[in-house]
Amino acid sequence: TPINRLVQQVDGLTLDSVAEKFPNCYPEINPFDLYRAHLTNILAIITGVDSKIIYPSLSWTQGLDKGDLVLAAPALRIKGKKPDELVLEWAEKFPGNDPLFEKPTVHGYFMSFFVKGAPLVQAVIPMIRHYRGDYGCNKFHGLKDPKDPSKGKKRIIVEFSSPNIAKPFHAGHLRSTIIGGFLANLYQGAGWDVIRINYLGDWGKQYGLLALAFEKYGDEEALNKDPINHLFQLYVRINSEMSAEKEQIEKRKADGDDVTELEANSLDEQARRYFKKMTDRDPAAIAQWKRFRDLSIKRYQDTYARLNIHFDEYSGESQVSEEAMNAVGKEMEAKGICKEDKGAMIVNFQELVPGKEGKRLEKPIIRKKDGTALYLTRDISELLSRHEKYQFDQMIYVVASAQDLHLKQLFKIIELLGHKDIADKCLHINFGLVLGMSTRKGTVKFLDDILRDVADKMHETMRKNEDKYAQVENPEATADTLGISSVMVQDMTGKRINNYTFNMDAMTSFEGDTGPYLQYAHARVSSIKRRAGLSDEDLASADLSLLTEQHAINIVRLLAQWPDTVQNTMRTLEPTTVLTYLFKMTHALSSSYDHLQVVGSERELMKARMALYEAAHIVLGNGMRLLGLTPVDRY
C-alpha cells in the first residue's frame, strides 16, 4: 500500500509494530498516524518519557507556517526542569538526518515539527488516488471490536429533521435537517451502522382540528397536488376561526352569559373529541389522518432527496402506542417518579434529583387531567421502544437548543427508571436560532420556498456569464444545487450553538467562505482536469518527485490532514470543523494556480501537477459530500 513508501524510509519501522503500540493508530489510511508514531519513537529516546504520554501530546498546529505537529513540553510532565530549557535540549538531540522530519524549531516551550516534502508527496498522492471516496474514512471507528470485524458494527440512531405535519417547516427543522444529515454521513463514513429516523409531529389535538378543517373546506384535488401547502392553508384557516370563536366566548362570559353550550360545541372541543377518536383508533378517523400523513411524507421525501437525505424510518408521535405509555406511566408511578397533582400526573424533579439540577429540571406533566399523554410522555415511550427494536449503541437527537430542558427531562426520567445505561447512550445535539429568515417572496413557510428562492438567485447569477452558461447541461438543476450549497454552507459555518442571520446576498456570493465558493473551487479543478485530458494511467505513472515547489508541498500537507480532520470531527460533531478545513485547503489551491500550471507545461510536469490537483479534487469532493453537498463540475 502507498504508506509503505514512508515506512520503508525508516529503519526498523513496521506497520504492525506501529499499529500494535499506539491506540487508534491506522497509518494505512491516515498518513499522520505514521508521522506521529515515528516522531513518538524518536522523542521517547530523546526525552526518556513513556511513548504512551508522548503520542497523545502531539497536536495539530494553527497553520502550516507553525509546522505539521507541535509538542508543548509541559504535556510530558517532567518535574524539576524548566520546559523551555528542555525543548532546547531535545531539539539539539533530534537527529539531523531523519528521513521524515526536518530538525524541529523551538519557540517558548513549544517544539514544532515540519515533515519533509518529498516523501510526503510520494506517499500521500498515491494514497488518495488509491482510496478515492474512502480517503478520510476510518471504518474501524464503527467496529464493535476494531481488531475483529466479524463481531460487527456499532449501531447509531440519528433522529433529525422531525417537522410537524401541517405546520411550517421552520428554521429549527432546517438546521436539524442539515446537521442531522451531516452527522449521519459522518458516522456512516466511520463504519457505523446508521439508522436515520424522522420523528414527525403528526399527533395531538391539532390533527383533530385539521381533520375538522378538511371536512369543512378540504379539496381533494388540492390535497393530492400539494398536500403540504393545502394542509397548511386549512390549518391556518381553522386556527384563525378557532381564535375568533374563543374571543367571542370570552366576551360573552364577561357579559355574564351562559356559555356552556357554546363551549361544548366549540371547535376546540370538537377537535378534542376528534382526537379522542383517533387515540381510540376509530377506523375512519385513523384512515383520514393516515392519508394526510402519507401524502405529506411523500412530499417531504422529494425535498429531502434534493438535499441528499433519506430516512430509514418515518416514525412520529402518532406511532407511540397508548398501551406502552400507560405501562411506562404505571412503572413511573410505582417507582415514585411521578405522582398526582391536581388530577394530572407530574414529575417533581426537585424531590427526585438533589440540588440545583433538580430545580432546573422543573415539574413536567406526563398525563393531563383528562388522561391524555404529552410530548414528553411520547418521547419516553419512544426512546425505550427504539432501544428494544434497534439495540442501539448510541442515539443522537438533533433538536434546537430551545428544547434543551425537554431532552434533559427525558434522559433523566430514563435514568430514574433504572436505565442509566440507555440514557448514557443518548446525546442531544443542539443548535441556535436562524434570525430574519424570510426570502424575497415573503416569510418562509416551507423548506421548498427557501430552496426555490435561493436557486432562482443562483440562476440569475449564472446567466450573467453567457459563454459559461451555454455549456452547462442542465442549468436549472445546477442552480438548484448551488442554491442548496449556499443555504447549507451558511448554516454550517459557525458553531452549531451560535445563532446566525439568514442572509441571502452573503450566502449566494461567490466571494468569501460560501457554498458557491466551494463549488467554484471544485468546478475549477474539474475544468483543469477536462482541459488537461490525461488518462488515469498517465496520472498513475506521474513522476511525483517533480512536485518540489512549496505551493505543491503545502497542498499535500493539507491533504494529509484530511483523515485527522475527520477524526477530530468525530469528537467535535461540528460541521464547521470540516468546513474550516475545506476553506483552508481551497485557499491553498487557489493561490497555487499561478505557480503550478498544468495546461501548457511540459508533459511530465503536467502529469505530476495533474496528479496533485486530482488528489485535491478527491479530497474536496469527499469533504463536500460528507457535509451533504453535491459537488458540481461546471456551472
Options 38, 170, 387, 617, the catalytic residue: 170
Options 38, 141, 154, 173, the catalytic residue: 173
Using the contact rule CB under 6 A, the part of the chain among 21-29, 158-166, 218-226, 332-340 near ligand ARG is 158-166
Measured in whole angstroms, the distance separating CA 547 from the mean position of its chain's CA atoms is: 35
Q: Please, is 525 exposed, middle or buried when counting C-beta atoms within 10 Å of its C-beta (0-12, 13-18, 19+)?
A: buried
Using the contact rule CB under 6 A, the part of the chain among 62-70, 159-167, 301-309, 479-487 near ligand ARG is 159-167
Tell me if residue 157 falls in helix, strand or coil. Answer: strand
* Of 180, 201, 364, 621, the one binding ligand ARG by CB under 6 A: 201
* Of 19, 399, 558, 578, the one binding ligand ARG by CB under 6 A: 399
Read off the C-alpha cell for 90. 531535545
**Residue 356 host element (H or E):** helix 355-360
**Closer CB to ligand ARG, residue 159 or residue 480?**
159
Q: How far is the CB of 206 from ligand ARG (least distance, A)?
A: 12
**Closer CB to ligand ARG, residue 262 or residue 376?**
376
Q: Please tell me whether residue 448 binds ligand ARG under the rule CB under 6 A.
A: no
| Active-site annotation holds for 170 | yes
Q: How far is the CB of 225 from ligand ARG (least distance, A)?
A: 25
| Active-site annotation holds for 459 | no
Q: Please tell me whether residue 199 binds ligand ARG under the rule CB under 6 A.
A: yes
Q: How far is the CB of 403 from ligand ARG (least distance, A)?
A: 7
Cα–Cα–Cα angle for 491, 496, 502, rounded to 5 degrees: 30
Options 130, 167, 205, 406, the catalytic residue: 167
- Residue 366: count of CB within 10 angstroms of its CB: 24
Using the contact rule CB under 6 A, the part of the chain among 156-164, 236-244, 565-573, 591-599 near ligand ARG is 156-164
Torsion over CA: 305, 307, 310, 311 (sign): negative
Q: How far is the CB of 389 from ligand ARG (least distance, A)?
A: 15
Q: Please tell me whether residue 397 binds ligand ARG under the rule CB under 6 A.
A: yes
Q: CA-to-CA distance for 375 and 232, rounded, in angstroms?
A: 21
Q: How far is the CB of 249 from ligand ARG (least distance, A)?
A: 29
Single out the residue of 55, 47, 35, 50 nearest to residue 94, CA to CA.
Answer: 47
Q: How far is the CB of 178 from ligand ARG (least distance, A)?
A: 15
Tell me if residue 165 falls in helix, strand or coil. Answer: coil
Q: CA-to-CA distance for 178 and 183, rounded, in angstroms?
A: 9
State the residue number with the nearest CB to ligand ARG: 201
Q: Please tell me whether residue 328 binds ligand ARG under the rule CB under 6 A.
A: no
Pairing of strands 313-316, 434-435: unpaired
- Contacts with ligand ARG, 402-441, as mask; x by CB under 6 A: ----------------------------------------
**Closer CB to ligand ARG, residue 159 or residue 448?**
159
**Closer CB to ligand ARG, residue 361 or residue 606?**
361
C-beta separation of 266 from 249 below 8 A? yes
**Closer CB to ligand ARG, residue 401 or residue 439?**
401
Helices (H) and strands (E) in the chain, counts: 29, 15
- Contacts with ligand ARG, 57-86, as mask; x by CB under 6 A: ------------------------------
Long-range interactions of 47-53: CB distance < 8 A, separation 24+: 47/76, 47/78, 47/86, 47/90, 49/76, 49/77, 49/78, 51/21, 51/22, 53/77
Q: Please tell me whether residue 182 binds ligand ARG under the rule CB under 6 A.
A: no
**Closer CB to ligand ARG, residue 159 or residue 491?**
159
* Of 41, 164, 577, 592, the one binding ligand ARG by CB under 6 A: 164
**Closer CB to ligand ARG, residue 407 or residue 547?**
407
**Closer CB to ligand ARG, residue 38 or residue 173?**
173
Using the contact rule CB under 6 A, the part of the chain among 157-165, 504-512, 551-559, 581-589 near ligand ARG is 157-165
| Active-site annotation holds for 595 | no
Q: How far is the CB of 540 from ligand ARG (least distance, A)?
A: 49
Single out the residue of 395, 391, 630, 373 nearest to residue 518, CA to CA.
Answer: 630
Q: How far is the CB of 70 from ligand ARG (least distance, A)?
A: 41
Torsion over CA: 150, 154, 160, 165 (sign): positive
User: How far lies 628's CA from each of 172, 394, 623, 625, in Å?
Assistant: 18, 21, 9, 5
Single out the residue of 235, 240, 242 nearest to residue 263, CA to CA.
Answer: 242
**Closer CB to ligand ARG, residue 173 or residue 557?**
173
Q: How far is the CB of 405 from ligand ARG (least distance, A)?
A: 12
Dump the DSSP string for 417-458. Answer: TT-HHHHHHEEEE----EES-EETTEE--SHHHHHHHHHHHH
Number of residues that bind ligand ARG (CB under 6 A): 8
* Of 162, 318, 490, 519, the one binding ligand ARG by CB under 6 A: 162
**Closer CB to ligand ARG, residue 33 or residue 379?**
379
Query: How many CA atoms lie less than 13 Å away from 540 in the CB half-sphere?
Result: 5
Tell me if residue 593 falls in helix, strand or coil. Answer: coil
Q: CA-to-CA distance for 595 and 524, rounded, in angstroms?
A: 15
Q: How far is the CB of 348 from ligand ARG (least distance, A)?
A: 22
Read off the C-alpha cell for 156. 447509531
Tell me if residue 170 falls in helix, strand or coil. Answer: coil
C-beta separation of 239 from 357 below 8 A? no
Q: Please tell me whether residue 379 binds ligand ARG under the rule CB under 6 A.
A: yes
The residues that touch ligand ARG, with contacts defined as CB under 6 A, are 159, 162, 164, 199, 201, 379, 397, 399
Catalytic residues: 167, 170, 173
